[in-house]
Amino acid sequence: MFLFLKHLEDFLKRIIKKDLINSLINTIIKNMRIIKGRFSAILFLLLFLSCGGSNMGRKEAARGMFYPYDKNEILNLINKFLKEAKIPKIKGEIVGGIVPHAGYIYSGPVAGYVYKAIEGRKFDTVILIGPSHHVGFKGCAIDINDYWNSPLGRVNLDKDLIKKLIDGKRIFFDEVPHLKEHSLEVQIPFLQRVLKNGFKIVPIVMGQDTDSWVYLSKKLYDILEKEKKKILILASTDLSHYYDYRKASSMDKKLIEYIKRMDLDGLIKALNNGEVEMCGARSVLTLIKLMKDTKAKPLFLKYLNSGDTAGDKSRVVGYGAFVFVKGGDMLTDEDKKTLLKIARKTLEEYLKTGKVPDFEIKSENLKRIQGAFVTLHKKGRLRGCIGNIIGRKPLWETVRDMAIESAVGDPRFPNVKYEELKDIDIEISVLSPLKRVSSPDEIVLGKHGVLVRKGFNQGVYLPQVATETGWSKEEFLSSLCYHKAGLDPLAWKDKDTELYVFEAIVFDEKEFGLR
């Protein structure tokens, strides 16, 4: 009997991925008291598969409670939320989002902003990550079913992607945390309404241990680096719980700022000391780390709490909406004009009085942490250029400060005088994050700015330098090494020289008729 069961287990591992079988067996033993022992679990699994049990769907648990029971009522509500959501034009690729999960009448107006942003876009798979509200466990549980039922129809699970995620250790099959969990289920009708047909899901519920989010983020990163599918990752969370309106708004504002800055260390510290709250904290930490690693940027869309949506302000729950975007020009024309006006006003004020002006900023795009350069031209000739490659402040502050530095801090030129401003044109370059390249062959002249670093020496050229000079790549890199980094002109060929590229959104006053 023992030998027979051993052969049976080996057979199952040949027809189904080994780690999936181990995970299934462990889950059966853990969650079904009637079954005791590994080989009993194997027999149960064989019976389960032979009876067609593998072709099963999860039933709705939140229908009629968190969202209406009737299909038409659901669609009417979602359509209302989408119509009311006013979002900026997003030119880049949306790869992630943070979305609330309360009842539709409470958090639906905020969730609508995320789903408005992705409406009509094509995704092969949506990875949903949420907290466990009903079951205590450690690790990350993926549902075992083949599909999820919804009032709007079935949604299949992406079994191929799930096989790559499952390891039977920290990421495993376990349907129990999913049975009554609403944090992922409430997203399904929204997704069905806004996405094109054919998308699949990977539902992940996170347990209560403190470090599985780091493990999951790394596993997702390793998979996504090789994956050709178009994948969206949504972290499901509500914010502060059951404070009065004023306190909740204050706490949630701090939380939103941590997310905008993608400040993981600060956010973790604030969560631990009770400064901010999220029921889906581990889901959000997973997403932020992954988005940082993949160079995606956060775009804040909306904040409300239940005092805004349901009326009672004595005891509220907070809701926030973010998307994460890769590539594309996320600045509107109005944003660009605002930055140019900030630079001009700053120079006028500082060169006249020595004071640094402050500005009231409304656009969320200008509040993102981002690097930038400010370049001054006088009658067509360079008069100053200083920048911050790695953003440490909100974009508008970076532009303000670099405008001053370009006027009085560029060692190549004497300080700009107030009387010169009438002849000076301002150009701004907003920078993408740095990306290291392994070879100069990866550098595209006119598209990439380049930072060279060797030892303690480094220098940078903006993308437009190649266009303005007409240099070849060899001339560009040699000049960068010699004139900007103080290195040998051919240092870029050395194995211990580091090369980084970045892209820039470049605009000036003439482009918008400001001069």
Q: pLDDT digit string (tens) for 155-173?
A: 999 999 999 999 988 999 9
What is the domain extent for residue 478? 435-505
Alpha-carbon span 461 to 504, nearest angstrom: 11
Q: Domain for residue 512, yes or no?
A: no
**pTM summary value:** 0.64
Same domain, 166 and 206: yes
What SS3 string covers 200-246? EEEEEEECCCCCHHHHHHHHHHHHHHHCCCCEEEEEECCCCEEECHH
The reported pLDDT for the residue numbered 504 is 87
Label residue 53 left, alpha or beta by phi (over 0 means left) and psi (-120 to 50 means alpha).
alpha
Label residue 120 left, alpha or beta by phi (over 0 means left) and psi (-120 to 50 means alpha).
left
- 59: how many CB neighbours lie within 10 A of its CB? 11
Same domain, 188 and 82: yes
Q: Domain for residue 328, yes or no?
A: no
The reported pLDDT for the residue numbered 138 is 95
- 280: how many CB neighbours lie within 10 A of its CB? 25
Structure tokens at 305: 């709490």
Same domain, 149 and 243: yes
Label residue 94 left, alpha or beta by phi (over 0 means left) and psi (-120 to 50 means alpha).
beta
Same domain, 148 and 101: yes
Same domain, 141 and 248: yes
Q: Domain for residue 31, yes or no?
A: yes
Q: Domain for residue 514, yes or no?
A: no
Specify the CATH number for the domain of residue 80. 3.40.830.10
Q: Domain for residue 102, yes or no?
A: yes
Non-local (6+) Cβ contacts of 238 within 8 A are: 100, 101, 102, 107, 278, 279, 280, 317, 318, 319
| Tally of domains within the chain | 4
Q: Domain for residue 193, yes or no?
A: yes
Q: Domain for residue 445, yes or no?
A: yes
Same domain, 405 and 256: no
Same domain, 211 and 100: yes
Same domain, 273 and 421: no
Same domain, 149 and 8: no
Q: Extract the residue ranges of the chain whose pLDDT is less than 50.
A: 1-5, 7, 11, 13-18, 32-36, 48-54
Specify the CATH number for the domain of residue 390. 3.30.700.20
Alpha-carbon span 6 to 332, nearest angstrom: 64
Same domain, 126 and 208: yes
Same domain, 348 and 277: no
Q: Domain for residue 513, yes or no?
A: no
Beta sheet of 435-437, edge-to-edge order = 435-437, 498-502, 449-454, 457-461
Cα–Cα nearest to 57, from 174, 147, 180: 147
Same domain, 357 and 398: yes
Residue type, position 305, single letter: N
Q: Are 123 and 352 in contact (CB under 8 A)?
A: no
Specify the CATH number for the domain of residue 499. 3.30.1490.150
Residue type, position 471, single letter: W
